[in-house]
Amino acid sequence: MKFTIYQESRLGKRKNNEDRLAHCYSRDALLLVIADGMGGHYYGEIAAQIAVQCITESFQREANSKISDPLSFINRTMINAHRAIFDFASAHKLSDSPRTTCVACVIQDNIAYWAHVGDSRLYIIRGGKVLARTRDHSRVQLMIDHGMITPAQALSHPDRNKIYSCLGGLQDPKIELSRKTPLEVGDVMALCTDGLWGLFPDEMLAAALVRDNLMKAVPDLMEKAEASGGQNADNFSVIAVRWEDNYIEPESHGLSTIHTHTMPLGAFTTRLDQFGSNPKYKTELTDEEIERAIEEIRSAIQKYSK
């Protein structure tokens, strides 16, 4: 595989960052996952951390060096994450279970497979146009489907943050699976939370990410989001990948392109921040509370590490 990847999360104007994101790759498979937590105190960020960590650790166990059935893998690991979050809520006797959106994608053999729950999104952009996008599990999306409002009106609708499917809720999540989608050289895949996509129409987002130098395009987009978000700006996060699996060497344009063909079988490279370790995930927890949360996250995930 050959690709360029960039991921970043920003606080916006919130006290805590409840977004979590990670990517992990072996020689022949790449995992992308992003989650947007919901819940009081620090529980939303724990729900998102459990989801991302559960899926990433499962990938590290099972991708040797590919995933045998990518869609089944994503569906199963999302369900395991849902159960782990629910177990955490039960162990703490929480009256309102913490919840999180989630989008996860596996790419192997130049084919992308993904699934999502909630309103965090995945985009595939080809030639500056949106080739594919996840459909939000939200109240405003249902209103759009029934012709009650337009997509432009949805961006500022008072119910835009109300979703009907998530991980960690009382009801089992309605996980929506993609079809397998072949990728072409130059395709851009982006996973992002609503704090980012809610600021830009799809066409503007696609135009911003199609530039050759992804390592500059994404930070520029994040800066624009920071400036546009206003005083109530939500957390916003993105993982963007430019697919470059090609037998002809393109001009580098200063990119930090990743080539996985030299990786040994069974090896992984992962970028997943441990709970409380990244200052961008601002939290009001004390060091003791962070250490306790790390142990509780590990305990919740361990049951489903099979």
pLDDT digits (tens, 9 = 90+) for 125-172: 999 999 999 999 999 989 988 889 988 888 778 887 789 999 998 889
Q: Quick one: pLDDT at residue 188? A: 97
Contacts of residue 251, Cβ cutoff 8 Å, sequence gap at least 6? none
273 pLDDT more than 90: no
On the CB side of 126, CA atoms within 13 Å amount to 9
Claim: this prediction has a pTM higher than 0.75: yes
In angstroms, rounded to a whole number, what is the distance separating the alpha carbons of residues 50 and 300? 8
In angstroms, rounded to a whole number, what is the distance separating the alpha carbons of residues 306 and 91? 21
On the CB side of 221, CA atoms within 13 Å amount to 33
Hey, what CATH topology would domain 2-302 get?
Phosphatase 2c; domain 1 (3.60.40)
230 pLDDT more than 50: yes
234 pLDDT more than 70: yes
Q: Quick one: pLDDT at residue 151? A: 83
Instruction: Delimit the domains of the chain by residue range.
Output: 2-302
* 79-88, 146-155, 204-213: range with highest mean pLDDT: 79-88
Which pLDDT band holds residue 300 (cuts at 50, 70, 90)? confident
Q: Which of 85-94, 175-184, 272-281 has the lowest mean pLDDT?
A: 272-281
